[in-house]
């Protein structure tokens, strides 16, 4: 198992929609800053994602307890969509 220290910060972003008085869906973003470890995407992961039209650029580890199903993140001033999540054996 790859060991990466959680020595960087990432902002996890969730979006909820509420209706205004006219029935329009208004988005509200909620941000949570957590510690993370970033790593390069391996060629097999990149190839598999590219097959379905995704272009992964980085991978990030966070503690499982701190991830709440967010769909976007900001890391080093760039905004990313979260397309894959899985639990690791070491938390």
How does the average pLDDT of the chain come out, rounded?
Answer: 89
Residue 49: band (very low, low, confident or very high) from pLDDT cuts 50, 70, 90: confident
pLDDT recorded at residue 26: 96
Which has more pLDDT, 87 or 52? 52
Q: With beta carbons less than 8 A apart as the criterion, state whether 10 and 37 touch.
A: no
| pLDDT digit string, tens, across residues 8-42 | 999 999 999 999 999 999 999 999 999 999 988 88
- Adjacency order of strands within the sheet including 59-61: 59-61, 25-39, 8-19, 72-75, 78-81
Q: Give 79-85 contacts, CB < 8 A, sequence gap 24+.
A: 79/13, 83/49, 83/54, 83/56, 84/49
Q: Tell me how crowded residue 49 is: count the other CB atoms within 10 A of its CB.
A: 15
HSE of 10, CA atoms in CB hemisphere, 13 A = 27
pLDDT recorded at residue 3: 61
């Amino acid at each position: 198992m790859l060991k990466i220290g959680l020595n960087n910060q990432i902002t996890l972003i969730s979006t909820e929609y509420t209706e205004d008085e006219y029935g329009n869906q208004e988005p509200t973003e909620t941000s949570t800053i957590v510690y993370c470890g970033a790593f390069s995407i391996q060629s097999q992961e990149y190839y598999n994602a590219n097959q379905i039209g995704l272009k992964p650029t980085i991978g990030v580890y966070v503690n499982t307890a701190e991830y709440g199903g967010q769909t976007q993140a900001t890391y080093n001033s760039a905004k990313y969509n979260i397309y894959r999540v899985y639990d690791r054996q070491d938390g």
